Amino acid sequence: MGPLHTVNKSPFASTALESCLARLTEGAAVLLIEDGVYAALAAGAAADRLAEAANRHPVYVLGPDLAARGLAEASLLDGVRVIDYLGFVDLATRHSAVQSWF
Protein backbone atom coordinates (compact mmCIF):
# COMPACT_ATOMS: atom_id res chain seq x y z
CA MET A 1 0.00 0.00 0.00
CA GLY A 2 1.13 3.59 -0.62
CA PRO A 3 2.03 6.11 2.05
CA LEU A 4 -0.19 7.48 4.79
CA HIS A 5 -0.09 11.29 4.75
CA THR A 6 -0.89 13.08 8.00
CA VAL A 7 -1.88 16.77 8.02
CA ASN A 8 -1.99 18.62 11.35
CA LYS A 9 -2.58 22.25 10.33
CA SER A 10 -5.83 24.11 9.67
CA PRO A 11 -6.45 24.54 5.92
CA PHE A 12 -7.41 28.16 6.65
CA ALA A 13 -4.09 29.00 8.28
CA SER A 14 -1.56 26.91 6.37
CA THR A 15 -0.90 25.44 2.92
CA ALA A 16 0.02 22.04 4.43
CA LEU A 17 -3.19 20.34 3.24
CA GLU A 18 -2.97 21.86 -0.22
CA SER A 19 0.68 20.78 -0.54
CA CYS A 20 -0.21 17.26 0.57
CA LEU A 21 -3.23 16.81 -1.70
CA ALA A 22 -1.28 18.02 -4.73
CA ARG A 23 1.23 15.20 -4.29
CA LEU A 24 -0.90 12.15 -3.58
CA THR A 25 0.08 9.05 -5.52
CA GLU A 26 -1.85 5.87 -6.32
CA GLY A 27 -2.64 3.97 -3.10
CA ALA A 28 -1.94 6.92 -0.79
CA ALA A 29 -4.27 7.78 2.09
CA VAL A 30 -4.78 11.02 4.05
CA LEU A 31 -5.31 11.30 7.80
CA LEU A 32 -6.32 14.64 9.29
CA ILE A 33 -5.12 15.18 12.86
CA GLU A 34 -4.95 18.07 15.39
CA ASP A 35 -5.94 21.36 13.67
CA GLY A 36 -5.96 19.46 10.36
CA VAL A 37 -9.41 18.12 11.26
CA TYR A 38 -11.00 21.51 10.45
CA ALA A 39 -10.52 20.64 6.76
CA ALA A 40 -13.22 17.97 7.04
CA LEU A 41 -16.05 20.44 7.78
CA ALA A 42 -18.60 19.98 5.00
CA ALA A 43 -19.61 23.64 5.15
CA GLY A 44 -16.03 24.92 5.25
CA ALA A 45 -14.10 26.53 2.43
CA ALA A 46 -11.69 23.56 2.13
CA ALA A 47 -14.49 21.02 1.56
CA ASP A 48 -14.48 20.98 -2.25
CA ARG A 49 -10.77 20.37 -2.50
CA LEU A 50 -10.88 17.59 0.10
CA ALA A 51 -13.95 16.00 -1.52
CA GLU A 52 -12.09 15.82 -4.79
CA ALA A 53 -9.21 13.98 -3.09
CA ALA A 54 -11.66 11.71 -1.24
CA ASN A 55 -12.97 10.45 -4.60
CA ARG A 56 -9.58 8.93 -5.36
CA HIS A 57 -8.04 8.27 -1.92
CA PRO A 58 -9.22 7.15 1.50
CA VAL A 59 -9.51 10.19 3.80
CA TYR A 60 -9.56 9.65 7.55
CA VAL A 61 -9.99 12.02 10.48
CA LEU A 62 -8.93 11.40 14.08
CA GLY A 63 -12.03 11.27 16.32
CA PRO A 64 -10.53 12.57 19.59
CA ASP A 65 -9.22 15.67 17.76
CA LEU A 66 -12.73 16.31 16.40
CA ALA A 67 -14.28 15.94 19.85
CA ALA A 68 -11.75 18.29 21.44
CA ARG A 69 -12.70 21.00 18.93
CA GLY A 70 -16.45 20.52 19.19
CA LEU A 71 -16.85 19.24 15.63
CA ALA A 72 -19.75 16.81 15.26
CA GLU A 73 -19.39 13.85 12.92
CA ALA A 74 -22.62 14.96 11.24
CA SER A 75 -20.91 18.21 10.18
CA LEU A 76 -18.22 16.37 8.20
CA LEU A 77 -17.86 15.87 4.49
CA ASP A 78 -19.39 12.65 3.15
CA GLY A 79 -16.82 9.96 2.55
CA VAL A 80 -14.48 11.05 5.36
CA ARG A 81 -13.98 8.21 7.84
CA VAL A 82 -13.57 8.87 11.57
CA ILE A 83 -11.00 6.68 13.33
CA ASP A 84 -9.60 6.41 16.86
CA TYR A 85 -5.98 6.06 18.06
CA LEU A 86 -5.95 2.30 17.45
CA GLY A 87 -7.15 2.97 13.91
CA PHE A 88 -4.25 5.41 13.48
CA VAL A 89 -1.78 2.71 14.56
CA ASP A 90 -3.42 0.22 12.24
CA LEU A 91 -3.14 2.59 9.27
CA ALA A 92 0.49 3.36 10.09
CA THR A 93 1.36 -0.32 10.05
CA ARG A 94 -0.56 -1.12 6.86
CA HIS A 95 0.86 1.72 4.76
CA SER A 96 4.36 1.74 3.29
CA ALA A 97 5.37 4.90 5.19
CA VAL A 98 3.94 7.79 7.17
CA GLN A 99 4.57 11.25 5.78
CA SER A 100 3.78 14.33 7.91
CA TRP A 101 2.62 17.66 6.50
CA PHE A 102 2.85 20.44 9.08
Partner 1 sequence: MSVESDNSAEPKVKRFMYVNRKAPHGTVYALEVLEMVLISAMFEQDVHLTFLDDGVFQIKKGQNPSVLEMKDFSKTYRALDGYGIEKVFVEKESMEERGLSQDDLIIPVEIIGREELGALMESMDVVLSA
Residues that bind partner 1 (CB under 8 A): 8-10, 12-13, 34-35, 38, 41-45, 47, 64-65, 67-72, 75
CB 63 within 8 A of CB 57: no
Report how far residue 91's alpha carbon sits from residue 49's, in angstroms, rounded to the nearest whole number: 23
Nearest approach, Cβ of residue 63 and partner 1 (Å): 8
CB closer to partner 1, 39 vs 53: 39
Nearest approach, Cβ of residue 72 and partner 1 (Å): 7
The residues near 50 (Cβ < 8 Å, ≥ 6 apart) are: 11, 17, 21, 39, 40, 59, 77, 80
Nearest approach, Cβ of residue 1 and partner 1 (Å): 28
CB 91 within 8 A of CB 29: yes
CB closer to partner 1, 1 vs 67: 67
